[in-house]
Amino acid sequence: MEVNATAKYIRIAPRKLRIVMNLIRGKKVSEAFAILKFTPKVGSEVVEKVLRSAVANAEHNNDMNVDNLYVSTCFVDQGPTLKRIHPRSRGQAFKILKHSSHVTVCVSEK
């Protein structure tokens, strides 16, 4: 049985979040929380929040034991991109792309 949690429209680029996701994929939940706590990346807070939600879903909705849970799959999809314009010299306009992400974390019981 796999239980998941999703956070959508997070204003961090997917590229930055994938670095954090690769650290916890396949790890036990307790080990994943320890890794996220000491990871100095911006996305670690977001991933930790989604992981806590997935563990809570597993515990309350499916009566799973928290000690036996592990991160089975976790991935980041690209959300909508906000497009902004930055004026430059000689009447030019450069685009600024503000990326967003959809974070999904799935936990399973061993």
Q: How far apart are CA 70 and CA 25, in angstroms?
A: 9
pTM of the model: 0.90
> Looking only at Cα atoms, what is the longest distance across the chain?
64
Instruction: Confirm if 100 and 79 have CB atoms less than 8 A apart.
Output: yes
In the chain, where the domains are located:
2-109
Percentage with pLDDT > 90 across the chain = 97
101 pLDDT more than 90: yes
pLDDT tens figures, 47-75: 999 999 999 999 999 999 999 999 999 99
Instruction: Please give the CATH number for the structural domain made up of 2-109.
Output: 3.90.470.10
pLDDT tens figures, 23-46: 999 999 999 999 999 999 999 999
Instruction: Confirm if 15 and 66 have CB atoms less than 8 A apart.
Output: no
Please give the C-alpha separations between residue 34 and each of 13, 23, 48, 54, in angstroms, as whole numbers: 23, 11, 10, 16
